[in-house]
């Protein structure tokens, strides 16, 4: 780890000399105030904030975020004050560093109320400024990479915390690189025996399929070039924890359809669909394994075409086809959307992600930390389902949600005026539990008496319950 490595990573996407100088200044500022401090590994403490900043640069974070990454422990571990950081750098950096400091640590072995309070601090950082949580993600990733220097109990504790809190949030933010690495690092300490068993099997699969994937890659690339489609293709294998989850769902190792994958990047959406046909002309598709996340993007804004094909030597290979821009979003997450480094989570960006709306609703609707944590576990960190409006928009809801939750998620006025629901073309009762891929149409009437109080027992989401209660509060 070195300042030079950090600057090299930043220069890949930012060559502004003044900003590079500010990053260099922040490094020496942090180094000065962390002087004499050591990590449990025995290395100088400055290595940790430097590593955090490098991870942020790898996801192309803005300059203020990288500087804050270098300074993220300085308020907690030194005598430096927030206003000093604002004076030396700028108010945005000071706000970010202060936000990370306020988050504190989540410790699952502590009392339930303390866990809930710390979790709330952590997640509130997202609603204040998403960059606060991005810094915390990078901080956590480096800590997980160096977890071998902790005691066994602390290793397990940190790993559980990471997989329960940080992994789901990394997914919601679209940070797939960080999410996958955090999953595997956590799994290694939670269940090391199975981790190493699967890791060894994966290494053998990678070696056995290396040549076949390379030939498939070249075959597809040649066909795309022959059709004058600008492209780049990469191969990948599923991460260890992802394989473990598939096996837990009842799949055999050789039945995991996305165990092996080719990522095909092209120049525009039209060529995504054209390339799909070309891929199928070389390698026949597996029926039912085609998904169009371009037309219907995931709720974290991920876009791509997915098709699983019969590859060479009977291997199943998922082919992901997307534009270069879509691939950047898939790799970098929210940082790929950043236009102005001084914009603090503008409303337009918030509104793109259903996750933020749910988090804000829960935070506003629950006064005590314990209730907040329970709602977060159920609605955000738990298992979700994905259903559709008649126009094809994907709506994300917690398991056991009903048409009532769906209606209020679409629009509170629709919820208040709802009189019936149609699921997959058939009328259904309002307490029907929705299933993945259901298509729901809500019937409303202007002369309705409003929501039924019984709905409070039938719905799952905080938003639905809040809006129903607000309706009755208004008519008292």
**Catalytic position from the list 44, 77, 84, 292:** 77
> Domains along the chain?
3-190 (1.10.3210.10), 193-333 (3.30.460.10), 383-474 (3.10.20.30)
User: Is 211 assigned a catalytic role?
Assistant: no
Residue with tokens 């749910």: 358
**Catalytic position from the list 76, 113, 197, 267:** 76
Which DSSP string corresponds to 127-172?
A: HH-HHHHHHHHHHHHHHHHTGGGS-HHHHHHHHHHIIIIIHHHHHH
H/E stretch holding 346: none
pLDDT at 87: 95
Q: Which tokens sit at 395?
A: 């709506």
Q: Which tokens sit at 90?
A: 């700028």
Residue 88 burial class via C-beta count within 10 angstroms: exposed 0-12, middle 13-18, buried 19 and up: middle
Q: Which tokens sit at 214?
A: 């390379």
Instruction: Tell me the Cα Rg of the chain.
Output: 24
Q: Which tokens sit at 205?
A: 């699969």
- As a whole number of angstroms, the distance between CA 94 and CA 343 comes to 15
Q: What is the pLDDT along the chain (476 residues), one digit of tens a residue?
A: 789 999 999 999 899 999 999 999 999 999 999 999 988 888 899 999 999 999 999 988 889 999 999 999 999 889 999 999 999 999 999 999 988 886 544 444 445 666 667 677 777 777 777 888 889 999 999 999 999 988 998 999 899 989 988 998 888 888 888 999 999 999 999 999 999 999 999 999 999 999 999 999 999 999 999 999 999 999 999 999 999 999 998 888 888 888 999 999 999 999 999 999 999 999 999 998 899 999 888 877 789 999 999 999 888 999 999 999 899 888 877 776 654 444 445 555 566 667 777 787 788 777 777 778 777 877 777 778 889 999 888 888 988 999 999 999 999 999 999 999 999 999 999 999 999 889 999 999 987 788 999 999 999 988 899 899 989 888 76
- As a whole number of angstroms, the distance between CA 189 and CA 88 comes to 40
* Helices 91-103 & 130-145 angle (0-180, nearest 10): 60
User: Is 76 assigned a catalytic role?
Assistant: yes
Phi and psi, residue 13, nearest 5° = -130, -5
What pTM does this model have? 0.81
pLDDT at 340: 46
> Tell me, what DSSP letter sits at residue 432?
P
- Count other Cβ atoms within 10 Å, centred on residue 447: 6
């Amino acid at each position: 780890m070195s300042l030079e490595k950090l600057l090299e990573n930043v220069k890949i996407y930012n060559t502004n000399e003044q900003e590079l100088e500010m990053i260099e200044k922040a490094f020496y500022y942090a180094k000065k105030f962390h002087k004499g401090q050591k990590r449990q590994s025995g290395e100088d403490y400055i290595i940790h904030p430097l590593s955090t900043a490098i991870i942020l640069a790898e996801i192309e974070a803005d300059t203020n975020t990288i500087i804050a990454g270098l300074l993220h422990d300085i308020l907690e571990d030194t005598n430096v004050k927030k206003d000093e950081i604002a004076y030396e750098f700028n108010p945005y950096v000071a706000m970010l560093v202060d936000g990370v400091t306020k988050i504190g640590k989540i410790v699952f072995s502590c009392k339930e109320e303390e866990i809930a309070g710390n979790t709330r601090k952590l997640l509130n950082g997202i609603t204040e400024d998403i960059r606060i949580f991005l810094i915390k993600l990078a901080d956590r990733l480096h800590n997980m990479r160096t977890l071998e220097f902790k005691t066994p109990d602390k290793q397990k504790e940190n790993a559980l915390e990471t997989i329960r809190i940080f992994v789901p949030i990394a997914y919601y933010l679209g940070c797939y690189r960080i999410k996958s690495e955090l999953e595997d690092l956590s799994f290694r300490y939670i269940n090391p025996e199975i981790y190493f068993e699967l890791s060894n099997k994966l290494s053998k699969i990678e070696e056995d399929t290396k040549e076949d994937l390379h030939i498939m890659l070249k075959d597809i690339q040649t066909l795309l070039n022959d059709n004058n489609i600008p492209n780049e293709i990469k191969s990948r294998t599923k991460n260890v924890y992802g394989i473990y989850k598939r096996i837990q769902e009842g799949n055999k190792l050789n039945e995991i359809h996305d165990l092996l994958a080719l990522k095909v990047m092209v120049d525009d959406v039209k060529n995504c669909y054209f390339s799909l046909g070309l891929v199928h002309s070389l390698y026949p598709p597996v029926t039912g394994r085609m998904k169009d996340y371009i037309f219907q993007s995931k709720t974290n804004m991920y876009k791509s075409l997915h098709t699983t094909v019969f590859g060479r030597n009977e291997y199943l290979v998922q082919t992901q086809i997307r534009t270069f821009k879509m691939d950047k979003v898939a790799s970098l997450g929210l940082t790929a959307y950043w236009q102005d480094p001084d914009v603090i989570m503008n409303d337009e960006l918030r509104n793109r992600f259903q996750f933020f709306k749910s988090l804000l609703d829960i935070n506003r609707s629950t006064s005590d930390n314990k209730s907040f944590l329970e709602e977060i576990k159920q609605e955000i960190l738990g298992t979700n389902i994905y259903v559709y409006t008649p126009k094809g928009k994907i709506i994300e809801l917690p398991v056991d949600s009903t048409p009532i939750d769906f209606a209020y998620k679409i629009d509170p006025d629709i919820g208040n005026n709802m009189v019936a629901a149609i699921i997959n073309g058939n009328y259904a009762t309002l307490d029907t539990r929705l299933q993945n891929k259901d298509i729901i149409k809500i019937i409303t009437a202007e002369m309705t008496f409003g929501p039924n109080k019984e709905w409070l027992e039938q719905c799952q989401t905080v938003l639905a319950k809040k809006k129903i209660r607000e309706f009755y509060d208004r008519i008292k």
